[in-house]
Amino acid sequence: MSLLFDDDPKFTAYANPERLVSTQWLADHLGDEGLAVVESDEDVLLYETGHIPGAVKVDWHLDLNDAVTRDYVDGAGFAKLLGGKGITRDTTVVIYGDKNNWWAAYALWVFALFGHPDVRLLDGGRAKWVAEGREFTTDVPSPAPVDYPVVEREDDGVRAFKEDVLGFLGGQLVDVRSLPEYTGERTHMPDYPDEGTVRGGHIPGAQSVPWARAANEDGTFRSRADLDAIYRQEKGLTPSEPVIAYCRIGERSAHSWFVLQHLLGFPNVRNYDGSWTEWGNSVRVPIARGAEPGDVPAP
């Protein structure tokens, strides 16, 4: 049984308000039967220093990725992970994390690959919970293992591969990296080291919408009206056509995927998780440089 949705007035304008909860809602529902709280951070040790009481950790390196294949876990792996955390297919899952919920959105997106029915993001993530002085604990819960069904991962419709993007040139591509990454001036985030991309630039035709434009200073999502103004009016993106979002390794674009899919209600949004680390290193794949989307090569 799903828990009741958060009827915070801010959320009602979003296309899928049931995908977000506020810190107050979470504080009010901690300990409710049928609720699991999951922390997923970029800093893989942050959970151990303190977390929301009852929250379990999902480590993006060790839990979501296959150890050998450059891919996510399969249905059996996902069932083992979630069952081991005490999460059933009927559990309402609320995910939060550090760095503006990048990795929380990423984890939510992986949950979406398996079609977990009720998974929500904590608006503002870990930082807002901290800023509000809410309770943290270092007690690690040990939920009784439960059965989570083996569900085949369905990448179609949610995830894009390099070949999909090659066939999508000329379509609505959104590059959510910072502007210097988009223009090709640098191949990594400002102040972050280079992760080894051979060339800088963007996928030809991609619009630049840095992920941060979707977030307020406190890490919460901007209002529906603000988001519409950016993605629809300014960038001219239309829900009637499919969209593919990408960044450097797929985590920032999971955040933008969430915005387009759940807050603006675009029905067909895919995240290209190979992103620039794959595209910028791939042989015979076209790129564009500079501040403009650039010419799309003829097929």
Could you identify the residue written with the tokens 């015979």?
284
User: Is 229 one of the binding residues for another protein (CB under 8 A)?
Assistant: no
| Choice between 61 and 284, CB closer to another protein | 61
Taking the C-alpha atoms of residue 106 and residue 95, their distance in angstroms, rounded to an integer, is 10
Question: Applying CB under 8 A, which of residues 67, 144, 225, 298 lies at the interface with another protein?
Answer: 67
Residue from 82, 174, 247, 263 carrying the catalytic annotation? 247
Amino acid letter at 268?
Answer: N
Q: Which of 1, 9, 31, 49 binds another protein (CB under 8 A)?
A: 49
Binding map of another protein across residues 101-140, x = CB under 8 A, - = no contact: -----------------------------x----------
68 labelled catalytic: no
One-character DSSP codes across 265-286: --S-EEEETTHHHHHTT-TT--
d(CA 87, CA 93): 8
Asked whether position 217 contacts another protein by CB under 8 A, the answer is no
- Using CB under 8 A as the binding rule, whether residue 284 contacts another protein is answered as no
146 near another protein (CB under 8 A): no
181 touches another protein (CB under 8 A): no
Stretch that binds another protein, among 109-117, 193-201, 205-213, 264-272 (CB under 8 A): 193-201
Minimum distance, C-beta of residue 2 to another protein, in the bound complex (Å): 32
The binding site for another protein (CB under 8 A) comprises 42-46, 48-49, 59, 61-62, 67, 98, 130, 191-193, 195-196
Catalogue the active-site residues. Answer: 247
